[in-house]
Each structure stands twice: as C-alpha cells, then as structure tokens.
Structure 1
C-alpha cells in the first residue's frame, strides 16, 4: 500500500482510497500488538472479576448487571453484522467492476492478472481474519467497561438503600462499600492500562478514516456498489469509535453520581463516626473515574463530538483541494 501511495501521490482520489485501507490495517496491527503485549495483564483483570467483593449483591441487583451486558451483546451483534455485510460488499466489489481490480489497493511484485483469483481469495481471507480479530478486541473492551459500569450502578443503589440503624452492622456494610469502590477503581485502571494505547490509535485513525470515507462518498457515483460499501464501512467506523466513547462516558457519569446517591440515604440518622466516614467517601467520589486513550483523550461523548468535528474539518480541506484539481483539468 505504501508503494501504491507513492505511485498515486498526485491523484487525490486514488491516494485517499489507498490511505483509507492503509490506516484501517495499521490500526488493527497496533491494537493486536498491544493486546498481545499485555495479554498476561488480562489474567489479573480476570482475577479481579472473580473477587468476592464485586459479587456481594442480591438477585434483583444482579439484574442491573445482566441488563447492561445484554445491551452490550446486542450492540456487539449489530457491529458484527455490519462487519459481515461490509466484507460481503468488499468481496464482490472487484468482481462486479468493468476492469479486474483487487480488494486491497497496493503494488504487488508479480503479474496480478496471471494470479488474479488466487490473489483475490487470499486478500479476502486476510480481510475476514483482520475484521474478526479487530472486532473481537473492540467487543471485549466494551464488555469489560460495561461490567465496571454495571458494578458502579449496583454500588449506587446500595449506597442509597443503606439503612443506618444498627451501628456495628452499618459500619461493616459501609466498609464493604468502600472496599468495593476501591476495587472498581482498580479494575477500571487495569482495563485502561491494557487497552488505552490501542484505543488511542483507534481514535487517531478514526479521524482520518471517517474523513477519507466521506471524501470517497463524494467522489464515487451514488448508483454503484462501491457507494453502498462505503456507507457500510462508514457505519462500521462510526460504531467502532462511538461505542468506546459511549461506554467510557457511562463509567464516568455513573461514578460521578455515587456521592449523590450516598447523600440520598438516611445518613443523618447514623452514628457520628459513620458520618465522618461518609464525608471522607464523598470527598473521594468528587473525582469521577475516567477511562482515557493513551492518557491523552478521555472516553466521553465530548471526545466523540471532537472526533467528528476534526474529521469534518479535514474533509472540507480535501474537498477544496479536489475542486481545485478538477478546475485545473
């Protein structure tokens, strides 16, 4: 692809088409290398999820966690389906053109006409493997963040429903809540440590990919299968980056509400020592738990807005350059 970009460096339409695929595969490679490098840290996350402190709640409260996981599963299925449809369009795209083309743009050191079908099959197989593994890393990250968010939601309910009658019993229960809160903060930090670098690369490339996809939609004729493929591809990229921001935003807002729910209990009937503990806990919850991408970007809806704004800015520049080139011709 790098060789192809050098060849097409003066053709903006072809250059952006190659860059579109190039950035997608580079992003996947970075995420895969990051995932492999930190694979042992996943075992510590698994141990944390098995800890008894995170599962001391009632059956009704378990429903909160299950509903959140079910919601994430539904989003994951939609994302997988969009990936499958994207690959199907991607596979048939070169076969339906007037000229024989390859799914992946790029320079190859042999006669592609002679080995056309072998090359197409190999590239399609490679794309299927890439898409499956890439989406798996994304969905795994979303689910881990969802579990952390669901645990925070249960902790909110427990803090609100805490009854301050028996002093010793209340002390014991509130202490377990503090321990659970610390365990959840530790869990979120471990998730961030393992996946944040890959997420940062995903955000960085999403700005470019969304921009180039929008530009290709402008260049490609609407009555073509390539246009449909680009629409599906654009949806996949938007879903990929939006879900990171959405679930990260959920963790941030849920942890930010812990203090408010704690204040909603009948804390005024509690012992003076418990009230002191509550005051310290409230101070601790003033700083929400946030997930970041590479310690630079916060996973939030504001970040998603920023990504779309940046993509549109670059798209406007490309559109202007393309119009200038068209006028010269």
Structure 2
C-alpha cells in the first residue's frame, strides 16, 4: 500500500512519488469502472453477458471503495502502529512470546494461501485469454478492441494485477489486525489467570504487586478496545461494500455457471472466481469471530485467577475488569454487519435467495 501511494508515511520525504503512484492506480481503477458501466448499459438485454460483466464490475467497485476508505483513514494506521509499539503490547516474557507466535500462525497461513490462490486464478485467466486471443475483462471501447488486441490486453493485464494486488494487501492487512486483537485478548487472559499466584508469601507485598499488575491490565484491556475501534473505523465501509458485493457476485457467478458448458475452461474459472469471493467472506467472519471469542474469555480468566485468595481491593479490580469484559469486542462492517460466523450464515442464506430470484427471472424470460 505504501508503493501504491495509499499508506501514510511517517515522514513526507517521498510525498511526490506517493501522489504519482496513487494517481496512477486510481486512474486505472476508475477507467475500468467507467468502461465497464458503459458495457453493462449497452448489454442490458443479454442477461448472461450482463451477469458476468456485473460480477467483474462489482469487484472493481469494492476495490475502489477500499482504496478510498483506506486513504481517508490513513492516519489511523499511524495510530495503530504507535499503539503496537506500546510496552503494553510489546513487553512479553518467553512464555507470552510463544503464545503470540502460536496464535498468529493462522493469519500467516491465510496470507500465503490467499496470495497463491489469487495468483493462480489470475494467471490461468489471463494466459487463457492470451492463447485464445480474447479479452478477459468486459469493457466498452470507442474502437474495435480486436484490431488493437495486444494494447487492450496489456491495459486489462495491468488493471487486473494491480487491482488484485491492492485488494489482497488490504484484506491480508485486515486479517492480521483482527488476529492481533484476538491475540492481545488471549495474552491478557493468560496474565489475569496468573494474578492470584503467590509471589513472596508476604501478604502486603503480594497485594501491592497484584494491584499494580491489575491496574496495568486494566489499561491494556482498554487499549485492546481502542485498537479494535481503530481497525473497525479504518476498514468498516470497505468491508461492508465487500460483503454486499461478494454476495451478489457469488449469485451472478453461480447463475453463469448454470448456463456455461460443464467441461469448458470458462466454467472452471467461474467456479474459482466464486470461491475467491466466498473465501473473502469467510476470512472476514472467521477472524471477526476469533476476536469475539477471545474477548469473551477475559471474564473466565478473572474467575480462574484464584481471586478468593486475594484481598478485597484486588477482588474489586478483578470485578471492574469483568464488568468491562461483559461487552465483547465486536468488529462490524458499516456498523451493520458484525463479523461473526452467525452473520456469515445469514449472508450466504440471503445470497442463495437472490440467486433463486435471478434464476427464476431468467427462466421466465
């Protein structure tokens, strides 16, 4: 995102290069959007072609919204960087470091799988289009694109790879940030469980140490909520549009597969494209659910802290943390869709209903 000109730099040393880069990528994305809309308008009567064009076009809409949303909230990322450098997040012992590494493995695996998946799908689609001498993005041109095939193909290649790179980068960044929220909750749970352990045997000394730790943990807990709030505000609108558009894209792709020959390469590419969209929805909701689950264990950790062996003052501190933890850390999309597995099932159910409507309209036409 830094190379694309959207990620904020701590220093304005390369601000001119950033602006040039951001202008270039924005121009490519908007050009495809405009040309794609014109193509759709000109093919309103062809439902099969229109559904395929709309599927690709909605992908571009989500990318543009993500790009502008990322740019609008770019200062939030500097705030998040500053929070992640805080001693509350960085000062860990060997045992806690192992907890962090273990719990961050999933997001690292997801990053690798997402990159491989997108690269393979795009490479197959673009190479197939080159061999078949056909354009893979449906756009309108004020000239016959067949007469300028390689020039148009090169433009589509740039639009496809640049768009995919930016989209994957934003999605992977969101996954990592959500995973960091969940990991910090897991780390706080681990620390709270150990609060009731005896330190020296001197009740007065132990009481003072426990209170100091709990005051620090209370601040840590609040920082987790603040961090999750920054993540939500920075990605909320882009995630909301992605969820809505991905649901519609899945419907269009499923419809297109039903009218496409089963043994054709186009059928396989449509299935792969549908899988990409479904993968994005699963990622958002899975890691959103992971944050919810991890935050809900804070109350459990207070119960497991041997609180009955602590002084009344320590117990009051634990009670305060428990009351705060009654409100789970829930990241939403657009303030409407909580990123949870329950919401994923609701989204897929709605998408299926929309698909049956499209299929009915097609059969009745």
Shorter-chain TM-score range: over 0.9
Deviation (angstroms), 1:130: 0.5
String of CA shifts for 1:41-91, please: whole Å, max 9, x gaps: 210100000000112332122112112322211111111111011111221
Runs of 4+ in 1 over 6 A off after TM superposition: none
Which residue is 1:36 aligned to?
A: 71
Q: Give the distance between the partners of 1:217 and 1:264, measured in 2 at CA.
A: 53
Which residue is 2:294 aligned to?
A: 254
Which residue is 1:170 aligned to?
A: 210
Higher RCO (CA < 8 A, seq sep 6+): 1
Which residue is 1:195 aligned to?
A: 235
Q: Which moved more, 1:63-72 or 1:13-22?
A: 63-72
Q: Give the distance between the partners of 1:41 and 1:20, measured in 2 at CA.
A: 31
Deviation (angstroms), 1:96: 5.0
Which residue is 2:175 aligned to?
A: 142
Which residue is 1:115 aligned to?
A: 148
Q: Is residue 92 from structure 1 mapped to residue 127 from structure 2 by the alignment? A: yes
Which residue is 2:191 aligned to?
A: 158
String of CA shifts for 1:229-280, please: whole Å, max 9, x gaps: 1121112111112111111111111111110111011101111111122122
Q: Which residue among 58, 80, 86 is the counterpart of 1:23?
A: 58
Contact 1:85–1:232 (Cα < 8 Å) also in 2: no
Which residue is 1:312 aligned to?
A: 352
Structure 1 residues 92, 324: closer, same or farther in 2, change over 3 A? farther
Deviation (angstroms), 1:164: 5.1
Q: Give the distance between the partners of 2:38 and 2:209, measured in 1 at CA.
A: 70
Q: Which residue among 90, 101, 121 is the counterpart of 1:55?
A: 90
Q: Give the distance between the partners of 2:197 and 2:114, measured in 1 at CA.
A: 46
Which residue is 1:216 aligned to?
A: 256
Which residue is 2:343 aligned to?
A: 303
Q: Give the distance between the partners of 2:138 and 2:223, measured in 1 at CA.
A: 48
Q: Give the distance between the partners of 2:78 and 2:312, measured in 1 at CA.
A: 41
Stretches of structure 1 that go unaligned for 5 or more consecutive residues are: none
Q: Give the distance between the partners of 1:223 and 1:123, measured in 2 at CA.
A: 26
TM-score, scaled to structure 2: 0.86
CA RMSD of aligned residues (A): 1.3
Contact 2:211–2:317 (Cα < 8 Å) also in 1: no
Q: Give the distance between the partners of 2:278 and 2:247, measured in 1 at CA.
A: 10
Which residue is 1:83 aligned to?
A: 118
Contact 1:167–1:271 (Cα < 8 Å) also in 2: yes
Q: Give the distance between the partners of 2:299 and 2:350, measured in 1 at CA.
A: 35
TM-score, scaled to structure 1: 0.95
Q: Give the distance between the partners of 1:167 and 1:69, measured in 2 at CA.
A: 34
Q: Give the distance between the partners of 2:216 and 2:340, measured in 1 at CA.
A: 29
Q: Is residue 182 from structure 1 mapped to residue 222 from structure 2 by the alignment? A: yes
| Counterpart secondary structure, 1:115 | helix
Deviation (angstroms), 1:37: 1.4
Stretches of structure 2 that go unaligned for 5 or more consecutive residues are: 1-35, 199-205
Q: Which residue among 80, 91, 99 is the counterpart of 1:64?
A: 99
String of CA shifts for 1:162-204, please: whole Å, max 9, x gaps: 2254110111111111111111111111111111111111111
| Counterpart secondary structure, 2:129 | coil
